[in-house]
Chains A and B, each alone.
Chain A
Amino acid sequence: MNFRTFAAFVGPSVFMMLLFIAFPLVSVFKQSFYVTQPLYESVEIETCTPGFLTQTCVTETVSQPQLDEEGKIITQTQFVGWESYRNVLEPERAWRAISDGNWNVLSTINFWKALRFTLTFTLITLPLVIVCGLGIAVMINNAAQAIRGPVIFISLLPFIITPVIGVLSVNWLFRGDGILTALLEWWLNRDIALFAQAWTIEILMMLYRVWHVAPFAAIVFYAGLQTVNQDSLESAVIDGATRWQRMKYIVIPHLMPLIIFVSMIHLMDSYRVFEEIVGFASQGYVISLQWLTYDFLVPDQAGNRSISRASASAMLTMIGIAILLIFPLRRTWRDHKGGH
């Protein structure tokens, strides 16, 4: 293929990637170093609000943004360097907590609290998703041809459900006297409040995530199982290999590239854990990095947003994912080099 044809084929997607991926990233990166704010002035005004029978009027000094001739708010943008990152990371407080060896204090600083949960969540769900996915795939593979279709359909269902809806369902099943909590209470004969402490919420979140993602892993592994060399399997049987040994020495090495692939996707996805926090309304106990970014971005009642801190937090999340991906990527790279 000559260069012109190649460029004509690749050009549109490169353009799209620049427009929709690179440009927003650069923009967020830039915003994390700048702060844009309205110019406020202090004015003394009288405000009257309704009471029941009379009106209450107060005269007070309030901060009001200045408007230009066209009636738009005058804003100023200034370079603040690393300040937004410092405001998110709070390094002085974090360092003081670490050097005092006081983990309780560290875990009350938003970013570190979120990082702790995000990492725990990602690293615990990863092996569970792989093992469950593999289990489901083997089950489908061993199912009789006649029922294989329905089995695939049923095991894919959790993956089809919209995450927020799934989380809300789990929330309603367990919250207060939800059906399943009531059942547990009846069975164990004691009062149970699953949303009253962090660890039960975290376990519910992880269970939900594994339930939700395992079908995806399963379908990828199931596809891989179709290409396992049947001759090797047969000779292994003749050599007297047990089911477990066949799995360990033939099937899993064969599926390894797919396992790496699923791990990478899962690392990227679960590091951005968000729906669980919102759906469980768990921010009093547990928050995640993605939720932190969202929280900075949501305007409060008076319309203020923290765009710069949100940008900084988004960049930090991206860096976190990049670091996590180094390990699987290095392995793929080595395999790739070894293969040629």
Chain B
Amino acid sequence: MKLKTILMAGAMSFAAAAAWADCAYENEVPLKSLSAGFEAWKAVTDAMAECGNFSASLDQEFREKQPEAFAANPALYQIGGVANETMIPLLNAGSLRPLDDLVEKYGQDLLPNQLIKVDGKIMAIAMMVNAQHLMYRSDVLADLGIEEPKTYDDVLVAAAKIKEAGVMNYPIGGTFKTGWNLAQEFVNMYMGEGGEFFGEGNQPSINNEQGVKALETMKAMTEFMDPEYLVSDSTYVQQQFQQGKIAMANLWASRAAAMNDETESQVVGKVTMASAPMGAAAPSTTIWWDGVVLAANMSDEEADAAFRLVMEGMDGEMVSANNDVAVWLSPAYTPGDLAAGAAASAENGAKAYPASAPMGVLHSALGNGLADYLTGAKDAQTTLADIEAEYLTAAKEAGLINN
């Protein structure tokens, strides 16, 4: 993946230097962008590079660079790619330019739900949404006469049947890698149960019934997962699917296209996308968006050119050419079977990831603390209490809670 990113970045700067082909106009202001390195960003920045005078950095570590690079005056990158949570530090530091005037000038083709508004001002333009949802092997489930699982209880019953029938040893896959991924699974489950993360004054409130229920469900799933689940990230789960080792997983919509990639996958056409399993209150998932922001520290002329370039990169032509790469937010997007899971989850009432500064701290504390429960070192209440204590220490140090 790293190597691929580097190669892509190299190819990118080459493309930028070469002639610009399919762009409606010629860009004359030198512009740079910094964003994550996955497929959708490659498509968008490729389209932007066609206008010339533009170079893109596709960097998986972008979030560590962005705050400093955008705080510089003039900003080191004019265009940034962010998601729910990575926008927070830029927003807090006042490094982002409100986009209302530019949207009025160039944004005729934008859908209203692409505009990310904070306090009435447009601060970002979303280009795609992503969510974890249930993917399952329709052939395996159909053979055993199992209906599409609607809740995690259904998932567990189905897994038990598949195992009993001897079809697979470990029917369930999960992005349970210690750290960000594992914490994200908890966030999904906890929000599905309808839990609230914070009380008054950023005090944590996860040590409750919903928290314990979320943990118990996760543990029950691990019974049917490859025992090395604590090192399994999205790519690993994707490969397990592609190699036909697992039958069900709650996996990112952005990975759906890989299931039908004939060069990698042995299960082409056999994986069905469905809504994330329902918790007591909502589907056990969170909706994420990825989008573009502009730096505050640049001239109006640059901002004008940058925004025009972004609109060119996100236009209908790019979306139709890369339709299956992501769940695009664009009138030109035709949702196919691969987007069905994300759409069904949203229909069932999935909530957006509750991005905020304290949530960043809590997500880290969860990522480090949850493994102790799954390995059996602590019981559920102790685990949650310890995570809350860890959160309090870190939040006090960050100044989010007064002593």
Contact = CB atoms under 8 A, between A and B. Distances in A.
A120 interface: no
Contacts of A45: 118-119
Given A47-B117, A49-B84, A304 B94 contact: no
Interface stretch (A61-69, A140-148, A332-340): A61-69
**Nearest 10 pairs between A and B by C-beta?**
A302-B360, A303-B89, A37-B399, A284-B178, A196-B227, A284-B371, A284-B230, A301-B85, A48-B117, A193-B227
Contacts of A257: none
Nearest to B90: A303
B13 interface: no
Given A48-B117, A191-B169, 7 more contacts: A39-B399, A50-B329, A52-B347, A108-B372, A110-B368, A304-B360, A308-B397
A249 interface: no
A245 interface: no
Interface string B325-367: 0000100000000000011001100011001111111011000
B115 to A, nearest CB: 7
Nearest to A40: B399
A304 B361 contact: yes
A65 B397 contact: no
Contacts of A191: 169
A240 interface: no
Contact of A108 (B347, B360, B378): B378
A281 B177 contact: yes
B398 A55 contact: no
Contact of A306 (B71, B86, B377, B397): B397
Interface string A6-45: 0000000000000000000000000000010111100001
A253 interface: no
Contacts of B374: 284
B231 A195 contact: yes
Contacts of B114: 50
B126 interface: yes
5 contacts: A55-B113, A281-B179, A283-B368, A299-B63, A301-B86
How extensive is the interface on chain A, given as a class? Answer: 35 or more
B154 interface: no
A269 interface: no
B178 A283 contact: yes
Contacts of A194: 228
Contacts of A65: 92-93
A86 to B, nearest CB: 9
Contacts of B120: 46
Contacts of A301: 63, 85-86, 88, 180, 355, 360, 363
A56 B352 contact: yes
A82 to B, nearest CB: 14
Contacts of B386: 108
Interface in B103-145: 112-120, 126, 129
Contact of B359 (A72, A302, A308): A302
Nearest to A298: B64
B120 to A, nearest CB: 7
Contact of B129 (A50, A76, A282): A50
Given A50-B329, A56-B352, A63 B358 contact: yes
